[in-house]
Structure 1
């Protein structure tokens, strides 16, 4: 299937959801043929470079979609990349070139219970996943944020517990998400697991879910969204190499 032609969208509004999460609302004429029901799908923000250089592309999730508008949430880090810097400084009327949308990555709803795990970069996707779970769903969401003030009130089934992990300075050695997951009471029945976070943390979680808990591929989604001390382009290379090794 051919990739959708990139479109120019316009900044309709911006606001801070929490101190380290900025929401940018995009709309305009470019939304005319944007597919419906794309919450949790990914889009590519495209930043043109100097003549002769390939444009920079950064991947983000459609957090909310309304008629003619989408919301995109940006986790803001101490070291800013081009996308988060753009979001922090975006003004109404600014334009941005967008690729996509790409496929949704939703948790398998055919399960006895559910476990969603992620840091702030995955919080938009987890928010959509939580909201679409069956009302009778049970399980956990383990969410890593920068500060206490970055906690959000999320729509979720009553019997899904949220556990917040505060981590102001993520690094390659600490595993706060895994530590919290291991402290949970592992429920009876078949779980469905959805996890996305920093690369090193992702690999630790993947090992735990695949080897120690033997969660089958049909019920396991694990992905890295970024890598500490790396650009997105560097992370993309390492992520591809890791996937090839994992498939062998």
Structure 2
């Protein structure tokens, strides 16, 4: 049975929201809960959805974001727009109260998103836009392999929660240090057969771990996400050595070492384009 993955589009909406809770999930992952009436109607249907988060200018504290009009999206004439893409982890709506969780990797003041998230508190303002669309769960997959670093743990969490229990789950996760595995709940740990690799033990551990899984059948879907450079040899192995089809492998470079605000829509390996 071939694997198919449908897509759906959502109306693009820009929403102003307020921080209502902050929780430290692991040493370098903070969960920011956003609330507000403008979250009414928020939709996120796929495990790999992403939205645009707009941050205040650290120099002025001013939040600048585009607005939606009848003719489309309009960028303001003044102010500095600072935005990054993030996974909408979880959305809850009850009795007119709406909440959206987004998890941020914090690494000091190296970037505006990390700097903001490390200091976020109740009452802070943000704007979000999207998701513009969703890629749904793959039809025909009986086994899903998740390969991710910290930046893709929220998407991995969505995969775990959204896949039916009839689908076998395997995970290979690279995190900074021991304790990163605490990101998943006990119920999620029970759902997936996972190996955790710590960068304190050295880089490059995922490649041999993926190869050690052996042959990968035609009903297996592989999700690769994280630092783009790490994913290049993994994708080449799956697509070129094992010969897996394009429909069986999704590789998404959430960030690229040495590049500020890298576009994750770009191919992770321009020298080896998709078929």
- Normalising by structure 2, we get a TM-score of 0.77
1:35 aligns with 2:61: no
The aligned residue for residue 62 of structure 1 is 88
Shift of 1:112: 3.1
CA–CA separation in structure 1 for the residues paired with 2:122 and 2:251: 35
- Normalising by structure 1, we get a TM-score of 0.85
The aligned residue for residue 143 of structure 2 is 113
CA–CA separation in structure 2 for the residues paired with 1:220 and 1:118: 13
Distance 1:56 1:240, change over 3 A: farther
Output aligned runs, 1:34-183, within 5 Å: 34-35=42-43, 40-47=48-55, 49=57, 55-67=81-93, 68-77=98-107, 80-152=110-182, 153-154=184-185, 155-156=187-188, 160-168=192-200, 174-183=203-212
CA–CA separation in structure 2 for the residues paired with 1:188 and 1:238: 27
Give ranges in structure 1 of 5+ residues lacking alignment.
Answer: none
CA–CA separation in structure 1 for the residues paired with 2:163 and 2:105: 24
**Relative to structure 2, which stretch is displaced further, 128-137 or 148-157?**
148-157
4+ long deviations beyond 6 Å: none
Shift of 1:131: 1.6
**Structure 1 counterpart SS, 2:132:** coil
Shift of 1:238: 9.5
**Structure 1 counterpart SS, 2:179:** helix
Shift of 1:28: 1.2
User: Greater helix percent: which structure?
Assistant: 1
Shift of 1:199: 1.1
State the number of aligned residues. Answer: 243
Give ranges in structure 2 of 5+ residues lacking alignment.
Answer: 1-8, 61-76
1:214 aligns with 2:225: no
Shift of 1:13: 0.4
Is the Cα contact below 8 Å between 1:136 and 1:159 reproduced in 2? Answer: no
1:191 aligns with 2:217: no
**Structure 2 counterpart SS, 1:148:** coil
> Relative contact order (alpha carbons < 8 A, sep ≥ 6): 1 or 2 greater?
2
The aligned residue for residue 224 of structure 1 is 253
Give the aligned CA root-mean-square deviation in angstroms. 2.9
Shift of 1:188: 4.8
